[in-house]
Amino acid sequence: MSRFECQHNIKSHLMQKFRRVFEGIAKAGQSTDLNDFYTELFITERVSGEVNKEHEVRLIETASRKPAKDETPIKLEDIFKPLPGQDQPSRTIMTTGVAGIGKTILTHKFTLDWAEGKANQDIHFTLPFTFRELNLLKVKKFSLVELLHHFFIQTKGIRRYDLFQVVFILDGLDECRLPLDFKNNPIWTDVSKSTSVDVLLTNLIRGDLLPSARIWITTRPAAANQIPAECVDMVTEVRGFTDPQKEKYFRKRFREETLASTIISHIKTSRSLHIMPEPPACRSLARSAGWSGPEPAALRPAPGQLARG
């Protein structure tokens, strides 16, 4: 099978997987097209390499007060492109953000845009993984090629990944249950030789295994230090929505004008809700803040929605 056939097959698979999203606002069995409600989030480079261990609510409040005009936003489609003043793109990028800020949706949108041919067509293969999935393979052994075949059967025709531009997305580092033993794991450079998933990941991240690949890791801030700083070329931070983006987001999510206006009004009149970017987090903070106003039915998420990040 040629590279073009493999690429076509994996793009079709990813479009089918990520185009439809089951949302808390939808009735049972209904899904929403990601392109219909996705609203651009404010992403910026994090200057400090320190991991902020403050309570996440305090982190959100701090971020909400930071003036966006003093920072350069990074567009999602440009996440791997060189920043102003840089000659080369970053190989390994870490994106941090509090729970519910939209990190996972960012990875889905990036993948979907690539699969639909809308952005980053210089990338030959975009391969998204979650640490939750990788945890299940903790005691198993794979070569890198076998691991890719395990998750993406569409890649079975490819053996020489070094000939292509490949992006690995590793979503949810904070959920990782692998040791990620960068200090003691052996150096591993052979993509066809089997070892533990932990050895594969640590070598992939630090660039010993498939150094031509690009890596995008997402995580909550407190888990960021699981990856040594010297293995990460750039750290970005998802700040959520600017005020205009918040309104645009809710008007996309709730197409009925009256309902959208009611929800936006509730958000603006509650300080706790106003700093939150996602409806599940809004609902959670509203309860903890003792908000007694009527809760629009559309803000009630499905079970498990609060865990999304």
State the pLDDT at residue 215. 99
CA distance 87 to 83: 8
Q: What are phi and psi of 64, to 5 degrees?
A: -70, -20
Beta bridge partners of 128: 169
Measure the CA angle with vertex 106, ends 233 and 143; round to 5°: 60
Over the stretch 82-141, which tens digit does the pLDDT of each residue have?
A: 988 888 899 999 999 999 888 999 999 999 999 999 999 999 999 999 999 999 999 999
Q: Which of the 8 DSSP states describes residue 99?
A: T
- E-strand spans in the chain? 20-21, 32-33, 42-45, 92-96, 125-130, 141-142, 166-171, 195-196, 214-219, 234-240
Report how far Cα 8 is from the mean position of its chain's Cα atoms: 23
Beta bridge partners of 276: none
Could you say which residues of the chain have pLDDT below 50?
25-26, 49-50, 67, 279-280, 282-308
Asked whether the beta carbons of 126 and 110 are under 8 A apart, the reply is yes
State the pLDDT at residue 72. 83
State the pLDDT at residue 280. 46
State the pLDDT at residue 256. 79
State the pLDDT at residue 288. 39
Instruction: Please state the pTM of the whole predicted model.
Output: 0.82
State the pLDDT at residue 291. 38
State the pLDDT at residue 278. 53
Domain 3-240 has CATH 3.40.50.300: yes
State the pLDDT at residue 268. 77
Q: Where are the domains of the chain?
A: 3-240, 243-307
State the pLDDT at residue 279. 38
State the pLDDT at residue 32. 83
Q: What are phi and psi of 59, to 5 degrees?
A: -60, -40
State the pLDDT at residue 53. 52
